Structure 1
């Protein structure tokens, strides 16, 4: 059996889906904590706080969508779709890391798991 047909791969993908969904829910409930994952300082002025809180809602919706997309592909049994969804998730992680790098630090908090997600996606999409 090839690695792309292993039953553990959808299970691992489901874990990543749960993590993405949890990140999204966290952004809704605790925007200050979600912002800390990018190693940005939470603003002190009320207008800036409101803006950041609203942007964290957008970020949260994105992460929840990623989680739902991964779960739907994993539960439907379509491994190629799951692989492409994982590659999309890896792309989002890469972009998040790039923003952190532009801020001066914290990029590997995103690029570390993003690399693993990308490899998993490539396996399922037929890249190996």
Structure 2
């Protein structure tokens, strides 16, 4: 039963990837309008004191959130078009993005990396499954 979930043609893998695509899309959408919410919530970064620096941080967070919207949107487009190979590659690349987010979080605040890193093996597993890398594990 579990082995069919790992197969590259499994609709469960494809739909799981779509569910994971909603996370960056949602964070991106919220962050465009409320960049400080993402800054404090997802990264636990402190807001600088000066208004000029606050404006810069708000702008940088909006750029970051557009990246998240793109990542979620392109994954959802691949899912919608039933292109599991592209969706698998996007999941693997997304796992790299999430890993880097956690590393930056840890470097800046000394904590919070696991808020991001928890998703890395799941996204990598979904990506590997969609790319067919786990098909050999499936019993014939």
Check whether TM > 0.5. yes
Q: Which runs of 4+ in 1 moved over 6 A?
A: none
Q: How many residues align?
A: 128
Residue pair 2:13, 2:129 contacting (<8 A) in 1 also: no
Residue pair 2:8, 2:130 contacting (<8 A) in 1 also: yes
Aligned equivalents of 1:122, 1:101: Cα separation in 2: 27
Aligned equivalents of 1:89, 1:49: Cα separation in 2: 28
Q: Normalising to structure 2: TM-score of the pair? A: 0.86
- Greater CA radius of gyration, 1 or 2? 2
Counterpart of 2:137 in structure 1 is none
1:115 to partner: Cα distance: 2.1
Q: Is there any run of 5+ residues in structure 1 with no aligned partner, and where?
A: none
1:11 to partner: Cα distance: 1.3
Greater RCO structure (CA 8 Å; 6+ sep): 2
Q: Is there any run of 5+ residues in structure 2 with no aligned partner, and where?
A: 135-140
- Counterpart pick for 2:36 among 32, 44, 47: 32
Describe the superposition over 1:76-128 as per-residue Cα deviations: whole angstroms up to 9, x where unpaired: 11111100001111111011011012121100000101221111111111221
1:46 is the counterpart of 2:35: no
Counterpart of 1:4 in structure 2 is 8
Aligned equivalents of 1:58, 1:125: Cα separation in 2: 30
- Counterpart pick for 2:131 among 107, 125, 128: 125
Q: Normalising to structure 1: TM-score of the pair? A: 0.93
Q: Which has the higher helix share?
A: 1
Aligned equivalents of 1:93, 1:26: Cα separation in 2: 18
Describe the superposition over 1:55-77 as per-residue Cα deviations: whole angstroms up to 9, x where unpaired: 01111110000011101111111
